[in-house]
Structure formats: structure tokens, C-alpha cells
Amino acid sequence: MVRAVDGVDLTVAAGTTLGVVGESGSGKSVLARAVMNILPRNSTVRPGSRIEIGGRDTADLDRAEARALWGSRIAMVFQDPMTSLTPVLTVGAQLTETLRRHLPLSRAEAARRGEELLISVGIPDARKRLRQYPHNLSGGMRQRVVIALALACSPRLLIADEPTTALDVTVQHQILTLLARLQQENEMAMVLITHDLGVVAGRTDEIAVMYAGRIVEQAPTEELFRATRHPYTQALLRSIPRLAAPSHTRLEAIPGRPPTIIDPPPGCAFAPRCRYARPRCLSETPQLIEAPNSGGRHRLACFHPVGTPEGDEAQTTNLAAGVSAAGLPMDSRSVH
């Protein structure tokens, strides 16, 4: 049994956006698929787990029961617009199929509603686009169609799983701005999944940072950037390129690789890559607890948090030794 997602506890209120951040393989997409109830057949949600959407627990629903909620209660925008649409059906056929499945609309009414949806997501000449196939559209336009499909039946929760991964920077901005506008207009809750903290800055109300299937830090967006506490979150922030940096500045990569979840090592999963790791980190797994003086709004899972006396002492000790307790070489130029 592999625990792809372990002990995650999140709440998203109507009209708010939660950012879920982490490297590839941290469990973000598996979490989203568990909420949507579209996990592979060989996957299970363990007894005692609860996935509640609008007061209804969806964790124990079979596929047919879950299908009735897709679109009307919960919808998902997948990360690859190239494969999210059926290539052999027109855009109009895919939109009207979704609308007629969940709403009492005639074929003509569904076509009119489909055209309105394409206009709402900023696609020009919407009536013409309804007759076209996905391969006739650019990547950005395909992603707009996917968003229109997701929002066709006004879901209460929208999960956007890295919706801008395959798009250039300009289109990324357009898509994220579009999602924010549509969320505000529909007063829906949104979960924005990404590997880039720069994407969620200023676009979310709260951020949860995932690593090896667990939440390692969670706080309101402004608080997370202002008072970063987990070494992994700090490392993600340092890896973001900065315009103010001199030309040819080497980017700060996170050393090592994420752990295998097939046979996870004891202790903190991030310890082998952490500059703050001490012997306790190699034998005990830190639990997600409230940060001191945060009023319960900032949670983290670390024995030696960044910016605390415990963290400063751990880093000073490791720097003096030249290596962390896990054997990671310490570079004084990277220690702040």
C-alpha cells in the first residue's frame, strides 16, 4: 500500500481560492482526483476519510453517483488542454453534451448557451468556434474551452490543476485572470494547483504547501510570503528567478530529489534535502501544528522552523559542521 496523499485536511469556503503548491510527485493531482472521485480503479480512499462538498460526503460514492456531481457541484480544469478535449468531436458537441446532461435544455437552447459560454471566456467569433475541432484552436483557446466546459453548469467548487502548464507567459496571465473573474462572478470556491509559488502570489486567499503527500505548511497567502516557516517553502521561494538579480546569476535549485513513496525513509521526508536537518528529523515525523502567535491561521510541520531560535540554532550547528545531519553539504553563500 502506497500512501500517495496522507493526512491532508483542507477547507475552502465559497468565493475563496486555495493554492496547493509543491513539486511534481508531491501528491497534488492525486488529491484533486480524490476530491473529484476519478482515481484509478486500483486506488482507494481509506475508511474514515471524508470529502465533503456542499454538506455531502463524496468519499464513499461509486462512480455513477459521483458522475452526477461532476459539472453541477464540482468541476475540474486539467493541466493539459491538448488532451482534455475529445479530438473527434466539435467544440459545440462537447459543450452541448455537458449542458444537456445536467440541465433541462433542448438542443437549440444548449447551442445558444454554449455560444454564451465561449463569449464569457473571451473566445472571439464564438459561433464559428462551436463548429470547429480542438485541433483548429491554439493552446490558449483550447484551455478557454476547457474552462467553459468546467463552468457550464455553475459548479460550487472548481479545481484548476496546473491550468497554465503548457501555455506561454502572456497566455498564463490571461487564463489566471479569466479564472479569477469567473470565480468572482459565480461566487464559487476554487482550488488552484501549481508547482510555482509565483503563480499563486496575489491570486489566492490561502496556500497549502505539499511535500511527499503531506501538507508541510499552510497559511494565508500574505502571511506565508511574509513569514515563511518551513525550509521547503523557503527553498521554493528562493528558486524563483528575480528580475532584480544580476545577469547570469545562477538559480538556487533545491538539492536532491523528492523521496520515493513506495518505501519512504523514517523521519521527515524533506530531511535529506534540508539545510536545517538535525538528528531528530531523521527519526521522527513532524506533525502539522499551529505556529506560535499565529492565532491558528499558520500551520507547519517542522522541528526547526525558519526564522525561529530552533531554526537558527540548527542552521548554525550544521554550518559549523559543514554538513546537515542528513549529510547535505552546507554552502555558506546560500545561508541567510
pTM score, whole prediction: 0.88
31 and 137 housed in the same domain:
yes
Query: What band does 336 get if pLDDT is binned at 50, 70 and 90?
Result: very low
Q: How many domains does the chain have?
A: 2
278 and 194 housed in the same domain:
no
Q: 154 lies in a domain? A: yes
Range of the domain at 184: 17-204
Cell numbers linked to 76:
475540474
Side chain identity at residue 126, one-letter code = A
Q: 160 lies in a domain? A: yes
Range with lowest mean pLDDT among 64-73, 103-112, 156-165, 236-245: 64-73
Q: How far apart are CA 217 and CA 215, in angstroms?
A: 6
Q: 8 lies in a domain? A: no
Instruction: Give the pLDDT mean for 108-114.
Output: 90
Flag whether pLDDT at 96 surpasses 50.
Answer: yes
In this predicted structure, what is the pLDDT of residue 172?
81
Q: Name the nearest CA neighbour of 79 among 36, 29, 45, 128.
A: 29
Q: At what angle do helices 91-102 and 139-151 cross, to 10 degrees?
A: 10
3-state secondary structure of 156: coil
Please give the share of the chain, as a percent, with pLDDT higher than 70.
Answer: 98
115 and 234 housed in the same domain:
no
Flag whether pLDDT at 231 surpasses 60.
Answer: yes
How confident is the model over 258-278, as pLDDT tens digits?
A: 888 777 778 999 999 999 999
How confident is the model over 198-218, as pLDDT tens digits?
A: 888 888 999 999 999 999 999
What stretches of the chain show up as alpha helix (H) in DSSP?
28-36, 63-69, 81-84, 91-102, 107-120, 126-130, 139-151, 169-186, 197-200, 221-226, 231-238, 309-321
How confident is the model over 168-187, as pLDDT tens digits?
A: 788 788 888 888 888 888 88
CA dihedral 51, 54, 58, 63 (to 10 degrees): -140
Instruction: Give the pLDDT mean for 322-327.
Output: 92
129 and 231 housed in the same domain:
no
Q: Is the dihedral of CA 8, 265, 224, 229 positive or negative?
A: positive
3-state secondary structure of 50: coil
Strands 214-220 and 189-194, sheet pairing:
unpaired
Instruction: Give the pLDDT mean for 107-124.
Output: 89
57 and 152 housed in the same domain:
yes
Flag whether pLDDT at 253 surpasses 90.
Answer: no
